[in-house]
Amino acid sequence: MVYKIDVNVCVGCGACVTSCPVSAIEQKEDKCIINADVCKGCGVCESTCPVNAISQD
Ligand code: SF4
Ligand code: SF4
């Protein structure tokens, strides 16, 4: 199970990028994306996001 970011909800705060233990999240301008090939599905980023933009894919 991997996680995804809803770009329509993400406000680009960057909190998830530093929370990910395997560096699966990359910031591109004002949005972030999760690399599904790297994500381990730990869920840490989901609990970090202040606007609940991250959920299981
Ligand atoms: S679920 Fe875990 S491994 Fe996957 S992007 Fe979020 S923090 Fe990183
Ligand atoms: S923590 Fe949430 S709002 Fe902040 S960059 Fe990540 S997905 Fe976007």
Q: What's residue 41's pLDDT? A: 97
What spacing in Å lies between the alpha carbon of 57 and ligand 2's midpoint? Answer: 16
> Ligand 2 in contact with 19 (CB < 6 A)?
no
Closest ligand 2 atom to Cα of 12: 5
- Domains of the chain in start order, with CATH, are 3-56 (3.30.70.20)
- Predicted confidence (pLDDT) at residue 1 exceeds the cutoff of 90: no
Note the ligand closest to the C-alpha atom of 12: 2
What's the pLDDT tens digit per position in 10-51?
Answer: 999 999 999 999 999 999 999 999 999 999 999 999 999 999
Give this prediction's pTM.
0.94
- Predicted confidence (pLDDT) at residue 55 exceeds the cutoff of 90: yes
Give the burial class of 19: count Cβ atoms within 10 A of its Cβ; 0-12 exposed, 13-18 middle, 19 or more buried: middle
What spacing in Å lies between the alpha carbon of 32 and ligand 1's midpoint? Answer: 12
> How distant is the alpha carbon of residue 41 from its chain centre?
11
